[in-house]
Structure formats: structure tokens, C-alpha cells
């Protein structure tokens, strides 16, 4: 449980003993709304707010962006301890543009679900002929019409590095491993473009100099990682470079806008 577990964090940003509430979190990052479940105790709420705040500060630092990047210009909502499902640590609700963290099982899933929110937010901004429900990664794989922009060029390079081989002639190792897993489970989940890219983003965040296992965990030593469901070896390095280039460029653009 969040209320009793200890989480590892190595970050240059430390709060000392100052308390942080979800109100503080909403104000700093400008989330559209923040909701807390009725069964969340005061102690659980108070500890989770600090952990989540620190995770978002660390994510913002890793991405070299401002607060508005984290809330997607105030378009993203957040809820804690509401609508949890058995076995689901966290989820992103595209219909409501809402990121949800389970009360007892969400830690380590923040980076994954936040990228889903970004991927969804960019869908109808990076492509001119998709609806509001489309993820940018899926639109790219399905040859939607791109919106010409230097930032989109960086983004599309990320998608290519994640989903295709280096020469672009076949699916990447990550994609092939994900397809094999889906076939073994008789489902389509791991090989979805949005899931491939969210797991690749997790690996990028976990490889950063800042470490926070409330933000991300499990991309290196887990069974999924051993099965190739996270990027490995040279592809992982190439993906990290592509993400770094994209977020550095995005951060510069957002900071220049004030």
C-alpha cells in the first residue's frame, strides 16, 4: 500500500519536511481537476500527495520541460483512489482525458500512464486527418497525414525508433517480442502502438540520472523485461536518444512561450 511502502528516490529536488497537498499539486501543475476517492483516509491522501508531487517534479526535470507540459496545458485531470479495477495499478481514460492512480497498486505506473495522456493529446495536433480519440502513435503507424512542424519530426523519429527496425524495413525487436506475447496470450495488447510507446517511454524515464520508483519501475529486471517487452540493448539506447531530442526541443519551445 502507498500508505506503508517505502519508495526509493534519488533527485536534486528535495522538499525537506514541508507537507504537500493535492491542492498544491493542482496549483503548481495546473491540472484541470483533481479528485480523491471517498475511501482514501487522510493519512493515505497526505502521503500520496507528497509522493505524487515529487514524482511529477522528477518527471518534469527528466523531460526538461515546464509545469504546463505535465498537465498538457491544463487539459489533463487526475484522480486518486477512484474507480480502481482489480489488477489495474493505474489507467488513462481518454474519453475524459483523466489519469487515475489506484489507492493501493498505482506506484511505478505514473510514467506509463502519463505518456498515454501525452500520446492522446498529440493525436489531433500532430496529424490533420484523425479524430480526438486517436493516439499519435497509432495515427503514425496507420499513415495518417502529418502536420508539418519541426517538433513533429522529432516525435515521429521516436515512433520510428520504437516500432521499426533501424533501416525501417521491418518491425523492431520490441514490436516483434510484443506480437509474440500477444499471440501466446491470444489477445492484442502489448503490440498496440500506444502500449509499445508507453513502455519505451518508461524505459527512457527509468534510465535517467534521476531515480524514483514511485514514478517508474520494472523496465529492467522484471519477467516482462526479460521477455523483451521493454526496449533492450542498442534499440533502448537509440530510443532514449530520440526521446531526449524530442523532449529537449519541446521543453525549449514551451519555455520560450512563457
pLDDT tens, residue by residue, 55-87: 999 999 999 999 999 999 999 999 988 865 555
Average pLDDT, stretch 209-232?
A: 94
Cell triple for 60? 518534469
Strands 98-101 and 77-80, bridge-based pairing: parallel
pLDDT higher at 41 or 155: 155
Predicted local confidence at residue 87, as pLDDT: 56
pLDDT band of residue 8 (cuts 50, 70, 90) is: confident
Average pLDDT, stretch 149-178?
A: 97
d(CA 72, CA 69) in angstroms, rounded, equals 5
Cell triple for 130? 484523425
Predicted local confidence at residue 4, as pLDDT: 47
Segment among 48-57, 113-122, 231-240 with least mean pLDDT: 48-57
Predicted local confidence at residue 3, as pLDDT: 46
CB-facing half-sphere around the CA of 84: CA atoms within 13 A: 19
CB-facing half-sphere around the CA of 112: CA atoms within 13 A: 21
d(CA 167, CA 131) in angstroms, rounded, equals 30
How many angstroms separate the Cα of 224 from the Cα of each of 106, 122, 130, 195, 221?
A: 18, 27, 32, 13, 8
223 pLDDT above the threshold of 60: yes
Predicted local confidence at residue 1, as pLDDT: 44
Burial class (CB within 10 angstroms; exposed 0-12, middle 13-18, buried 19+) of 12? exposed
Instruction: Name the average pLDDT for the chain.
Output: 91
Average pLDDT, stretch 15-23?
A: 82
pLDDT per position as a tens digit, 99-149: 888 776 557 889 999 999 999 999 999 999 998 899 999 999 999 999 999
10 pLDDT above the threshold of 90: no
d(CA 32, CA 119) in angstroms, rounded, equals 18
Predicted local confidence at residue 17, as pLDDT: 66
151 pLDDT above the threshold of 60: yes
Amino acid at each position: 500500500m502507498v500508505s506503508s511502502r517505502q519508495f526509493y528516490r534519488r533527485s536534486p529536488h528535495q522538499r525537506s519536511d514541508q507537507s504537500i497537498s493535492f491542492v498544491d499539486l493542482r496549483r503548481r501543475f495546473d491540472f484541470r481537476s483533481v479528485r480523491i476517492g471517498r475511501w482514501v483516509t487522510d493519512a493515505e491522501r497526505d502521503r500520496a500527495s507528497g509522493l505524487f508531487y515529487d514524482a511529477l517534479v522528477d518527471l518534469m526535470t527528466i523531460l526538461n520541460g515546464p509545469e504546463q507540459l505535465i498537465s498538457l496545458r491544463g487539459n489533463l485531470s487526475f484522480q486518486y483512489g477512484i474507480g480502481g479495477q482489480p489488477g489495474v495499478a493505474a489507467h488513462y481514460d481518454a474519453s475524459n482525458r483523466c489519469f487515475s492512480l489506484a489507492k493501493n497498486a498505482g506506484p511505478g505506473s505514473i510514467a506509463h500512464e502519463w505518456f498515454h495522456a501525452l500520446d492522446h493529446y498529440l493525436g489531433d495536433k500532430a496529424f490533420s486527418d484523425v479524430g480526438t480519440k486517436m493516439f499519435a502513435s497509432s495515427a503514425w503507424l496507420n499513415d495518417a497525414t502529418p502536420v508539418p512542424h519541426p517538433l513533429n519530426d522529432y516525435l515521429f523519429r521516436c515512433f520510428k525508433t520504437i516500432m521499426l527496425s533501424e533501416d525501417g524495413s521491418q518491425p523492431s525487436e520490441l514490436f516483434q517480442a510484443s506480437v509474440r506475447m500477444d499471440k501466446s496470450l491470444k489477445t492484442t495488447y502489448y503490440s498496440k502502438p500506444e502500449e509499445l510507446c508507453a513502455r519505451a517511454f518508461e524505459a527512457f524515464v527509468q534510465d535517467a540520472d534521476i531515480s524514483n520508483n514511485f514514478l517508474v519501475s520494472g523496465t529492467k529486471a522484471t519477467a516482462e523485461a526479460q521477455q523483451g517487452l521493454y526496449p533492450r540493448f542498442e534499440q533502448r539506447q537509440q530510443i532514449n536518444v530520440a526521446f531526449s531530442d524530442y523532449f529537449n526541443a519541446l521543453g525549449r519551445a514551451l519555455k520560450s512561450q512563457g
